[in-house]
Chains A and B, each alone.
Chain A
Amino acid sequence: MSNSLAADLIIPIIKIIIVGLFPLIMVMVMVWLERRVVAFIQLRLGPNRVGFQGILQPIVDAIKLFFKEDITHTGVDKVLFNISPVLVLFSSILAFCFIPLGGTMQIGTYNLNFWVAESPVGLLLIIGISSISVFGVIFGGWSSNSKYPLLGALRSVVQILSYEIPVAFSVLSIIFFSQSMNMIDIVNRQKDAGIWYGFMLPVSFVIFWISVVAETNRAPFDLPEAESELVAGFHTEYSGIKFAYFYMAEYAHMVLASSLAVVLFFGGWLPPFPNVAALSFLHVIPGFVWYLLKIMFFLYLFIWIRGTFPRYRFDELVRLAWKWLIPLSLLNILVIAFVRSFA
């Protein structure tokens, strides 16, 4: 009795708390890492005063934002204005419950899974849930009753809607091979195939990565919050903790995007060459560590891109999606479907 209680209730609750906290912890790491890495790219030092190498800087920032005055100016639609930061952050954290953070670990007789929920349509759910954040952006921009946020929100809607399509198509090519939308199955199939899908389907991966960078509103596609044009885009009028919510949500989305890239294209928790006997010692390292290493690489890539590229203009961005990425992903799908059914 007590054993099943632990297995059915207590462990899942602990897991939910940990998986809920995981993106937030990664957000803190990312805030620090981004500022440091961009600083090093720009021959600066970045924050290095609070704690070892400035590692406590995100915490200090968060405390500051907590105690800042929360300004709600006149003419604001209060309900939407208050709900949108929550919506944006919530959607990105919720999507994590379907992401496998590691493999299955055997502790005594209990099999500890490193994921909260397993669903046969997990991939679809993740894409769906993370898209809810666009509502937060629209509501936030619209309810602010101000022109810069409105323009930012308009841009954001067009951008996210345009780039959702290539993401869906590139993910579809994964499903052709894995024949499952279950995130755990997708990883296991990569183990069976002996090769990560990213190396098997490089075109899909490139399309996926470009689109995902665009969907997270990151440079060079950070138009909705283009600092030099729209001040801060859709969250211009937000302050204090509500602003912090948007800020955290952006990073949480980056972590989610990197996790998706890792799970779909780079074997999730699997070590490199999982089937090669000579490299079997790599299995000693827990899957969670592999997963973490891989997402750190992609998160670093986000920062690297930001430090290097200029920003797209709005019309160029839409043109890139509709004239290049969508036709290319369609062609890619056709070729893959053809190869898959005849080869």
Chain B
Amino acid sequence: MAFKEILLNMGPQHPSTHGVLRLKVALDNEVVMKVTPVLGYLHRGMEKLFENRTYQQITPLTDRFDYLAAISNNLGYLLAVEKLMGIEVPKRAQYIRVIFTELQRLASHLAWVGFFANDIGAMSVLLYGFIEREDILEIFEEYSGARLTVHAFRVGGVPTDINDKIIDMINTFILKLPKRIADIETLLTGNRIWKHRTIGVGVISPEDAISLGLTGPSLRSTGIKWDIRKDIPYSSYQDFQFEVPTSANGDLYDRYVLRLEEIKQSMRIIRQALDTLPQGETLTKVPRVLKIAPGEVFHSIEAPKGELGFYIKSNGTDKPERVKMKSPSFINMQSLETMCLGNLFADIVAVLGSLDIVLGEIDK
């Protein structure tokens, strides 16, 4: 039976578009012929807003990009500013930054596993992931007072040192997480339905991945070993022993296994950072009115979702002339169509979930 191509509008109000994304989908029966993302429903003009704020005032605003990994955004922006100023952050502060960004990576990946599983229909995993994420948010709350938009770092270091209570909280959390990860793996990894839904679905070749600018775990799932923490180390990442997991197939299952593996590696990094935490200052002296000499800089970090880069152009005043953000969700969205073509309609949702997009970061 031949069907005419149907044009289906998915979103912006749809349960699984992760916010207010709109997809124009052309279907032949249930086979995807075309996917066109329509963006801008959450546009807040952040980059323009930055031009009217001082350098310090921008930091809390970066929390609102990827609200599931606010600390990574802070770090990406601050490293760019510090590079532009040419200041060195104290070693202790660098380690504390690593601990918190890795915790944020854990939180982001745990939430991702839940959302991804929920998109595929396993609804309980979402809550299991969130229970663990809750512990991380409590650590953040203890440190900075905020849970979601943490604003944990400052230009020149971190505002407060970590105390024993926070170290205890992190240690207990790290001890208990592997068991919970094992629970999630029992529910999903070996499950036949899960494998049917993920193996061989949403495949992208390494060549396509590179030409579409894919970064993060989705890129590494195609077999390309590219992790900025390892390849262009920042914030003392060179001090820590950790693996960059890769796999070869570039499908949804690989992305899932890879992220679980990254969770384990992040725990390794946190443990090392806590063990070898150097003594000393946590904040370099930075003038209150921060005027940066004219110049431009680009610095990128490995955020949980991929490469997060900030381009900053200064003009000698206390406000930047231009800030441009290279956000992983936005760039990764480009490969959605390549991954979906020829798959079934239900796979769009799964592929979209696997890319780990956050609309705050796409629309800026």
Q: Which residues of A contact B (CB under 8 A)?
A: 38, 41-44, 147-148, 151, 219-220, 222-223, 226-229, 231, 306-316
A309 close to B345 (CB less than 8 A): no
Q: Which of B8, B15, B16, B123 has the most CB of A within 10 A?
A: B123
Please give, as numbers and ranges, the residues of chain A lying within 8 Å of B121 by CB-CB distance. Answer: 219-220, 222, 226, 228, 309-312
Q: Give bound CA distance, A43 to B127, whole Å.
A: 7
On chain B, the residues within 8 Å of A315 by CB distance are 30, 344
Q: A222-B121, A227-B15, A308-B187 are in contact. Are A42 and B127 (CB under 8 A)?
A: yes
By a CB distance below 8 angstroms, the chain B residues around A42 are: 123-124, 126-128
CB-CB under 8 A from B128, the residues of chain A are 42-43
User: Is there contact, CB below 8 Å, between B188 and A310?
Assistant: yes
B87-130 contact mask (Cβ, 8 Å, vs A): 1 or 0 = 00000000000000000000000000000011111111011100
Residues of B within 8 A of A222 (CB): 121
Does B4 interact with chain A (Cβ within 8 Å)? no
Complex: chain A residue closest to B345, CB-CB: A229
The docked-state distance in angstroms from the alpha carbon of A223 to that of B194 is 15
Residues of chain B within 8 A of A231, CB atoms compared:
14-15
Q: How far is the CA of A309 from the CA of B345 in the complex (A)?
A: 20
Asked if B193 is an interface residue, CB under 8 A from chain A, the answer is yes
A44 close to B127 (CB less than 8 A): yes
CA separation between A309 and B117, bound complex, in Å?
10
Q: Say if the beta carbon of B346 comes within 8 Å of chain A.
A: yes
Within 8 Å CB of A228, what residues of B? 15-16, 118-121, 349
Asked if residues A147 and B6 are in contact (CB atoms below 8 Å), the reply is yes
Residue B361 CB within 8 A of the other chain? no
Cα A306 to Cα B14 in complex, Å, equals 22
Asked if B196 is at the interface (CB within 8 A of a chain A CB), the reply is yes
Q: How many A-B residue pairs have CB under 8 A?
A: 84
A227 to B122, CA, bound (A): 11
8 A-B interface contacts by CB (under 8 A): A42-B123, A147-B6, A229-B16, A231-B15, A313-B346, A314-B345, A315-B30, A316-B197
Inter-chain CA distance A308–B123, complex, in Å, is 8
Given contacts A226-B121, A313-B197, A314-B346, 8 further A-B pairs with CB under 8 A are A42-B124, A42-B127, A219-B121, A226-B346, A227-B15, A231-B14, A310-B188, A313-B346
Q: Specify which chain A residues have a CB less than 8 angstroms from the CB of B187 in the assembled complex.
A: 308
> Does B131 interact with chain A (Cβ within 8 Å)?
yes
Q: How far is the CA of A220 from the CA of B128 in the complex (A)?
A: 19
Complex alpha-carbon distance, A310 and B197, angstroms = 9
**A7 CB, min distance to chain B CBs, angstroms:** 51
Tell me if B227 is interfacial: C-beta within 8 Å of chain A.
no
Contact assessment for A151 and B123 in the assembled complex, using a CB-CB cutoff below 8 Å: no
Contact call B15/A316, Cβ cutoff below 8 A: no
CB contact between A312 and one of B188, B196, B349 (< 8 Å): that residue? B196
**In the complex, A226→B181 CA distance in Å?**
27
Q: Does B52 have its Cβ within 8 Å of any Cβ on chain A?
A: no
Nearest 7 CB-CB pairings of A with B: A311-B121, A310-B122, A42-B127, A228-B16, A310-B120, A310-B121, A228-B119
Please state if A309 and B127 are interface contacts (CB–CB under 8 Å). no
State which of B14, B30, B122 has its C-beta within 8 Å of the C-beta of A309: B122
Bound complex: CA of A220 vs CA of B196, how far in Å?
Answer: 13
B191: chain A residues at CB < 8 Å are 309-310
What's the minimum C-beta distance from A81 to chain B, rounded to whole angstroms?
20
Complex CA gap A226/B128 in Å reads 21
Assuming A43-B128, A147-B8, A226-B121, is B349 touching A313 (CB within 8 A)?
no
Chain B residues near A311 (CB, 8 Å)? 120-122, 193, 197
| CB <8 Å contact, B349 and A229 | yes
A309 to B347, CA, bound (A): 17
